[in-house]
Chain A
Amino acid sequence: MQFPILSVLIFIPLLAGIVLLMVPAQRKDWIRGIALGSAAVVLVLSVAVYALYDVAQAGYQFVETAPWVPALGIQYHVGVDGLSLPLILLSGLVVFTGVLVSWHVDERPREFFSYLMFLGSSVLGVFASLDLFQLFFFFELAVFPKYLMIILWGSPKTREYGGMKLTLFLFAGSVLALVGALAIYFGSGLRTFDMLVLEKAGFPIAFQQLWFPFLFLGFGVLSGIFPFHSWAPDGHVAAPTAVSMLLAGVEMKVGAFAALRVAIMLLPDGARFWAPAVLVLATINVVYGALIALIQSDFKYVIGFSSVSHMGLVLIGFACLNHDSLLGAGMQMFSHGIMTALFFSVVGMVYDRTHTRELSQLGGLVQKMPWAAVGFIIAGLVSMGMPGFSGFVAEFPIFMGAWRTAPLVAIIAILGVVVTAGYILLVVRRVFFGELPKQFQNIPDITWMDKLAIGLLAAFMIGLGWFPSLMTSVLQPGVQNILGLLGG
């Protein structure tokens, strides 16, 4: 039997989370050690899965199945293809760097790292799921760690509001999607939750048109689709740094991925029918998100709204339903994930030292924390879609695909990118350049762990910018698979 690498990947953080809860609370060094150790294992395994995936063979690999509830057609079924693979890698990276930048969490670290591990297990579980029930199981597993982490370690002013809003929005979306999934289950008449079987069920067109919105919007809430995006900035801002990184970096991709995997791939005719509507919403996402980001006075809200804007590009990529756009969307999910994780980690580092997020009070920080400044600028360049960085190789195919299907959307969305350049440059200038306020004369530089996190994330953004084929080659077969479903 082959080594069950995906199961190990999913269950190591889960196990670590449970073990952590049993460690005596005062052994903070053990707690951090266990968290870092398991996060490192997750990172190594996620890189290994990525490296070991056989591109020539394509399709779903590392597949494992085990019976779960046979009477209902539920099984434990994991496997990865070209689309989920970059997201597995993304999860590994963000969980690891999330632990690194949270090293100094001193308030109940045991619970903090335990919940962080549960969150990691949840996202990995969703990305690897090939069974619809199992996908929901892992999807909703994230509810309580998210809520508790935001209210316990979030920023005191808004954490109760932000945490509750985020949790209820996402829960509402996921239960709505659950009804859609149940409709698929019963509508297929196959009595199975296996998505590979359901893909071939051949649902009637009217059925697909009816249920597609349930699934796409239900999951889409988590990807920040307009007009259900408002949880995102509020939640991200309220959350502690590592959770903002995971929420914006990975969880939003969970939403987008599930919308693609379930709504588009199981109901392709429904997707084609609703694509124009999705395009309209997604375009609003891009432009509106960017414009709102431009007028924020709070450092973290800028990044929060930039996520709304960038996720709009992913959704445009989905809704154009052609080869280039889907490829770009796949790249953008990964690229935005590490980019926004880097953004939020730098925001957190700045806040921890200056205790303010007001842009008007910050300035000149490049003198005090050059690494953070460089990291932020790199992420900013990715955000603007500069060539040589991962943002360019992700956004370019999306616009190419959009130009072919919906040129107007491409033109309007390009405006969003222009505005993005505006708010990024604005923030960089306000925070890192100009005069250093007096009260920040003595703030310390960031720790070497912070630097490691920044360096790791930045390396992937630059590496991908120069060698996009490392990812396109993997994504290619996944995209072909979707196109096959759409065509047939």
Chain B
Amino acid sequence: MMTVPLGDMLLKILPELGLLVLAAVLLTLDLLWRSRRCRFLGWIAAGGGAVVILLSLLFARPGPEPLLLWGGMMRLDSTGFVFRMLFVTGMAITALFATENEGICEHGEFFTLLVISTLGMTLMASVVDLIMIYLAFETASIPLYALAGFLIRDKKSVESGVKYLLFGAMTSAVMLYGFSLLYGFTGSTNLYEIGAQLSAGQLPAGLAVLTALLVTVGFAFKVSAAPLHFWAPDVYEGAPTSVAGFLSTASKAAGFAVLLRVLLVVYPALSSLWTGLIAALAVASMVVGNLQALNQKNIKRLLAYSSIAQAGTILIGAAAQSDFGVTATMYYLMAYLVTNLAAFGVVMVVGRAVGSDEISAYAGLSRRSPGTALILLAVLLSLGGIPPFAGFIGKLLVFGAAVEANMAWLAVVGVVNSVAALYYYLRVLKVVYLDRAENETQPLNMTSAWKAALVGCVVLVVVLGVLVSPFYTWASQAAASLIVY
């Protein structure tokens, strides 16, 4: 293995160090400012995110060959790089949505927790050692438990935090048991070495299958795939809306980052089993998510079930276990991140104006604020997979991955589900555009932070849906670098 000088190694984790500094800065400013200037904190977090993105473009750009750092704990490759971009973008947008929200603004530690969780996610995507994976996993999760229950005066929020914590602790314990078995039988914590040993048949097949099942529990929880999805609707409904958006996008993407790496690096020997397992999860998530979403009255619960179904669709790409499948998964995650963040953003804006998250409260929105209605139209259609929005390309690639891997049946299941999904997205649009309400002449209050975040998201939704090429190249580079040792 090539040795890298310490200075260089530090340079390569500069983005992560940057996030750490950002977290510290936010905490200090919160102490200094108290609640007087709290609305700047969100902007600072978002700006810090932009700086981190710049840092990783300048210093931590992966070369054509993946590089092992810090004694083989971390791997500098395109996969980690692209996922980092994803998480930091998600963090920045979430921070903007969170600014000037009562109950959040006065407690600046919100942003610190958000940034630390993001740090955990970027590590999840780039570490290749079981111990580090577990640490990163928890670094990402623990702040999220606190964030979900952040509104301590709101019973639902607290309940949501506790529920999330209990579910998360349980699944991560199961996952850890899987890790311990893997270490115990192979004597290594490095994913690539474990993978090599499994491929060489060092481990009895039955045991390998057992470890696969155990670790999947942790990942399935993170991506909210059925049957480990039960937490999602309650947590999304109770958590602050901006946190729900973050949970359903960045956190889910982080789950996929680890899932893909472990799947492709550790278990290539068990590929047919994995394919079956992931395909089963995909089908279950799509069917459960879509069926439950059909008759939801609350928009946050609807989006929660829709995000379970979306996880199922993304899993189709993972089930294909091919270069193209991973590319499709990556692209879908990018598209999904900006789309769903914007969806939750609109929910937050409308929720604050009308004081309700019921779908019926969206009546008259298209007259009240045509711009917001148009944004909602774009994101719901993107979720439904309609051009010219990002979701269309994601859907096309994911179905393509299934067809390429001779699993056209899975694509057909996806087709049926996408029709059901379009039904409930259109139902929301119907309320927005057709139904009338008494308050439809009052304008909608929008702060500049929310506007910036919403417009940014929608621009990305259209760019990802029309321009495609540069993002596709990123996704395919990330896919390629994941597989080579």
A206 at the interface (CB under 8 A from B): no
Which of chain A's residues has its CB closest to B473's CB? A71
Q: How far is the CB of B19 from chain A (nearest CB, A)?
A: 31
| Chain A window 246-259, contacts with chain B (Cβ cutoff 8 Å), 1 for yes, 0 for no | 00000000000000
A21 at the interface (CB under 8 A from B): yes
A71-B426 in contact (CB<8A): no
Which of chain A's residues has its CB closest to B378's CB? A144
Which of chain A's residues has its CB closest to B404's CB? A186
* Across-interface contacts of B411 in A (CB, < 8 A): 179, 182
B387-A137 in contact (CB<8A): yes
Given the interface pairs A137-B387, A186-B404, the reply to whether A68 lies near B469 with Cβ below 8 Å is: yes
| Chain B window 368-396, contacts with chain A (Cβ cutoff 8 Å), 1 for yes, 0 for no | 00100010010001000111100010001
B399-A171 in contact (CB<8A): no
B183 at the interface (CB under 8 A from A): no
Which of chain B's residues has its CB closest to A67's CB? B469
Query: Which chain B residues numbered 118 to 174 have a C-beta less than 8 Å away from chain A?
Result: none
B476 at the interface (CB under 8 A from A): yes
Query: Which chain B residues numbered 311 to 333 have a C-beta less than 8 Å away from chain A?
Result: none
Which of chain B's residues has its CB closest to A141's CB? B387
Complex Cα–Cα for A172 and B423 (A): 11
A487 at the interface (CB under 8 A from B): no
Q: How many B residues touch A, CB cutoff 8 Å?
A: 34
Count class of interface residues, chain A: 35 or more
Complex Cα–Cα for A164 and B427 (A): 9
Which of chain B's residues has its CB closest to A164's CB? B426
Complex Cα–Cα for A25 and B370 (A): 10
* Across-interface contacts of B430 in A (CB, < 8 A): 151, 160, 164
Complex Cα–Cα for A171 and B391 (A): 14
B419-A171 in contact (CB<8A): yes
Given the interface pairs A140-B386, A143-B386, A182-B396, the reply to whether A148 lies near B429 with Cβ below 8 Å is: yes
Query: Which chain A residues numbered 167 to 206 have a C-beta less than 8 Å away from chain B?
Result: 167-168, 171-172, 175-176, 178-179, 182-183, 185-186
Given the interface pairs A70-B469, A152-B433, A183-B403, the reply to whether A178 lies near B422 with Cβ below 8 Å is: no
A179-B399 in contact (CB<8A): yes
Given the interface pairs A144-B377, A164-B423, A179-B411, the reply to whether A151 lies near B434 with Cβ below 8 Å is: yes
* Across-interface contacts of A172 in B (CB, < 8 A): 415-416, 419
Output the residue of A67, A70, A144, A172 with the most chain B CB within 10 A: A144
| Chain A window 60-93, contacts with chain B (Cβ cutoff 8 Å), 1 for yes, 0 for no | 0000000111111010000000000000000000
* Across-interface contacts of B433 in A (CB, < 8 A): 148, 151-152
A147 at the interface (CB under 8 A from B): yes
Interface residue SS majority, chain B: helix
A179-B469 in contact (CB<8A): no
B400 at the interface (CB under 8 A from A): yes
* Across-interface contacts of A137 in B (CB, < 8 A): 387-388, 392
A186-B403 in contact (CB<8A): yes
B459 at the interface (CB under 8 A from A): no
Complex Cα–Cα for A160 and B435 (A): 11
Which of chain A's residues has its CB closest to B475's CB? A71
* Across-interface contacts of B415 in A (CB, < 8 A): 172, 175-176, 178-179
| Chain A window 87-111, contacts with chain B (Cβ cutoff 8 Å), 1 for yes, 0 for no | 0000000000000000000000000
* Across-interface contacts of A178 in B (CB, < 8 A): 396, 399, 415
Complex Cα–Cα for A472 and B31 (A): 81
A171-B422 in contact (CB<8A): yes
* Across-interface contacts of A67 in B (CB, < 8 A): 469
Output the residue of A74, A175, A179, A182 with the most chain B CB within 10 A: A175
Which of chain B's residues has its CB closest to A138's CB? B387
Given the interface pairs A147-B426, A178-B396, A183-B408, the reply to whether A71 lies near B476 with Cβ below 8 Å is: yes
B412 at the interface (CB under 8 A from A): yes
B468 at the interface (CB under 8 A from A): yes
Q: How far is the CB of A415 from chain B (nearest CB, A)?
A: 35
* Across-interface contacts of B387 in A (CB, < 8 A): 136-138, 140-141
Output the residue of B392, B415, B423, B468 with the most chain A CB within 10 A: B415
B400-A182 in contact (CB<8A): yes
Q: How far is the CB of B410 from chain A (nearest CB, A)?
A: 10
Given the interface pairs A72-B472, A175-B418, the reply to whether A21 lies near B374 with Cβ below 8 Å is: yes
A69-B472 in contact (CB<8A): yes
* Across-interface contacts of A182 in B (CB, < 8 A): 396, 399-400, 403-404, 411
A144-B473 in contact (CB<8A): no
Given the interface pairs A68-B469, A186-B400, the reply to whether A144 lies near B386 with Cβ below 8 Å is: yes
Complex Cα–Cα for A167 and B430 (A): 13
Taking Cβ atoms with an 8 Å cutoff, the residues of A that contact B are 21, 25, 67-72, 74, 133, 136-138, 140-141, 143-144, 147-148, 151-152, 160, 164, 167-168, 171-172, 175-176, 178-179, 182-183, 185-186
Taking Cβ atoms with an 8 Å cutoff, the residues of B that contact A are 370, 374, 377, 381, 385-388, 392, 396, 399-400, 403-404, 408, 411-412, 415-416, 418-419, 422-423, 426-427, 429-430, 433-434, 468-469, 472-473, 476
A and B contact pairs by CB, cutoff 8 A, 23 listed: A21-B370, A25-B370, A69-B472, A71-B476, A74-B468, A137-B388, A140-B392, A144-B381, A144-B386, A151-B434, A160-B430, A164-B430, A167-B426, A172-B419, A175-B385, A175-B418, A178-B396, A178-B399, A178-B415, A179-B411, A179-B412, A179-B415, A185-B403
Known contacts A74-B468, A164-B427; 4 additional CB pairs below 8 A are A178-B396, A179-B403, A186-B400, A186-B404
Q: Which 8 A-B pairs have the closest CB atoms?
A: A182-B403, A175-B415, A172-B419, A182-B400, A186-B404, A69-B468, A69-B469, A137-B387
